[in-house]
Amino acid sequence: MEFSIKNDNPEKLHSDCVIIGVYESQKLSNAAQSLDKASDGYLTSILKRGDLEGKADTTLLLHSLPGVASHRVLLVGLGKESEFSEKQFSKAVRSSVKALSNSGATKAVSFLAELPVKQLSVRRRVALIAETVLDATYRFDAIKKKKEESKKGITNLAINVTLASEVKDAKAGLADGLALASGVSLAKDLGNLPPNVCTPTYLAEQALALAKKHDLKVKVLERDELKKLGMGSFLGVSQGSEEPPKFIILQHLKGKKEQKPVVLVGKGITFDTGGISLKPGAEMDEMKYDMCGAASVLGTFKTIAELDLALNVIGIIPTCENMPDGRATRPGDVLTSMSGLTIEVLNTDAEGRLILCDALTYAERFEPSAVVDIATLTGACVIALGHYATGLFSNNDDLAKELLQAGESALDRAWHMPLWDEYQPLLDSNFADIANIGGRAAGSITAACFLSRFTKKYDWAHLDIAGTAWKSGKEKGGTGRPVPLLTEFLVNRANNANK
Ligand code: BES
Ligand code: MN
Ligand code: ZN
């Protein structure tokens, strides 16, 4: 998709299609009013006949409007003007893309950026258009021999702004949107790749390639070094697999030298069979997505690198497979973590926390201002929150608020879950310092409690993305979440640091 910024007349410009908005009151947007005037009230008469009510998620494609130079005009329903929010805005953009996906139009000019949305600057509105369009047109056919050969749909989109003085901001917004979309798209791709391709070694190669391209510091630790560091918990998970584990450290150091870094830690289980506590067969293929936390860290690094964000950020990715094998960890085994705490593995399927705890201990050496881990950690989180909200846990309420707010702004929302002391005894073990499971009740909370035992030295938050990182069923595919939330969080931190 090619994007550009325009500042043009809706009736005079030559394009395959002009995209304009209509509110539910049948009130026309400014550009729509211009087209209506140019066509002698053609749009008003069509609306009067009742062909479009302006409801959200509805569109009407018109051809050859008198007095209008472009071939087509797409009317997009915006819903109620009083309720027109960021979310409605993005929805309207999405339906415009969908409406044109089967038309002959390949070039279009969108006038949706002119719509006022509470508290959103032109820059943000343009960014949101680019992000949404790229999210809606994303396809994963890299490993299909027969590519879908649809020539239909938009390949060139110009985003029009009303004032010449807005062009500069619009261009900056376009750059923001493209940077976010490329991180989201990387996260989707890595998730969607099959687990025989996207192995721990592959993830390490991706990190090296990303670092090379954007001049980032990167290090990949191998098994021997992990042994020396005492990461018995991480190694315990990896030992049932033929694939060697990797421990990736990425550094984006573009903030002031003395500025303490934000550390992102991503769960990178490239396939989760459950290990000896084997999972049932149904939908087990989806456990290729168990590295989506890692993918979101790589995606976020790509985005902030493209934005050249002035902040110090470190990414840590422990990555391995969880497989059953003669050498695999057994239920009942006790592992010694890097922190020194011993862990009784009561269920080898609760492996995410076992690889994360050593990464969280490793994070201490960076003296972080905050650590955020991102993990497809528990099925219980999906039961609690479904597929809309990411589960958010934190040992610091201000950090939790910051992340919640970032999620709201980025349309990538999280929900604050409790991390109360009352839940901690559920992890008591008769044979080690801590057990790796806490029973059926409050499964996502006890998983977070487990992690909290390893994060006492810094401000920390945990994002359980088990329900939000990918979609099942007919639309099966990675979502790229929570790259938008993380990016927003880091951009806000950079803005505050450089005020
Ligand atoms: N990767 C899974 C969590 C998961 C399951 C995410 C289904 C999305 C959909 C994780 O490693 C796991 O297996 N967790 C167990 C924990 C249990 C054994 C305490 C779970 O949720 O069942
Ligand atoms: Mn598991
Ligand atoms: Zn898992």
- Using DSSP bridges, classify how beta strands 107-110 and 17-22 pair: parallel, antiparallel or unpaired: parallel
> pTM of the predicted model, to two decimals?
0.98
Q: Which of 260, 279, 457, 476 is catalytic?
A: 279
* Cα–Cα dist 36/424, whole Å: 65
Nearest CA to ligand 1 atom 22: 379
- Decide: helix, strand or coil at residue 499: coil
**CATH fold match for the domains 2-161 and 180-497:** no
Q: Which atom of ligand 1 is nearest to the CA of 437?
A: 19
Q: Which of 374, 378, 446 to mutate to test the pocket of ligand 1 (most atoms within 8 A of CB)?
A: 378
Q: Establish whether 279 is a catalytic residue.
A: yes
Fold exhibited by the domain 2-161: Leucine Aminopeptidase, subunit E; domain 1 (3.40.220)
Q: Return the SS3 of 374.
A: strand
CB atoms within 10 A of CB 70: 22
| Calpha distance 241→281 (Å, rounded) | 19
Fold of 180-497: Aminopeptidase (3.40.630)
Distance 143 CA to ligand 3 centre (A): 25
| Residue type (1 letter), 182 | S
Q: What is the pLDDT of residue 142?
A: 84
Do 488 and 410 form a contact (C-beta atoms < 8 A)? Answer: yes
Domain boundaries, the chain: 2-161, 180-497
Beta carbons of 131 and 181 less than 8 angstroms apart: yes
- Is position 330 annotated as part of the catalytic site? no
What is the separation of C-alpha 123 from the centre of its chain, rounded to a whole number of angstroms? 20
**Is the backbone peptide bond immediately before 482 cis, with ω within 30 degrees of 0?**
yes
The alpha carbon of 382 and the centre of ligand 1 are apart by a number of angstroms equal to 10
8 A C-beta contact, residue 470 and residue 187? no
- CA of residue 443 to ligand 3 center, whole Å: 13
Ligand 1 binding site (Cβ under 6 Å of any ligand atom): 272, 290, 347, 349-352, 376-380, 382, 437, 443, 466
Name the catalytic one among 288, 353, 413, 453.
353
Q: What is the per-residue pLDDT for 72?
A: 98
Find the helix packing angle between 483-497 and 292-307, rounded to 10°.
40
- Distance, in Å, from the CA atom of 325 to the CA atom of 303, rounded to the nearest integer, reads 38
- pLDDT, mean of each 10-residue run, the chain (499 residues): 97 98 96 98 95 95 97 98 97 98 95 96 98 97 80 92 98 98 98 98 98 98 98 99 98 98 99 98 98 99 98 99 98 99 99 99 98 99 98 98 98 98 98 97 98 99 99 97 99 95
Q: Which contacts of 222-225 are long-range, i.e. CB under 8 A and separated by 24 or more positions?
A: 222/246, 222/247
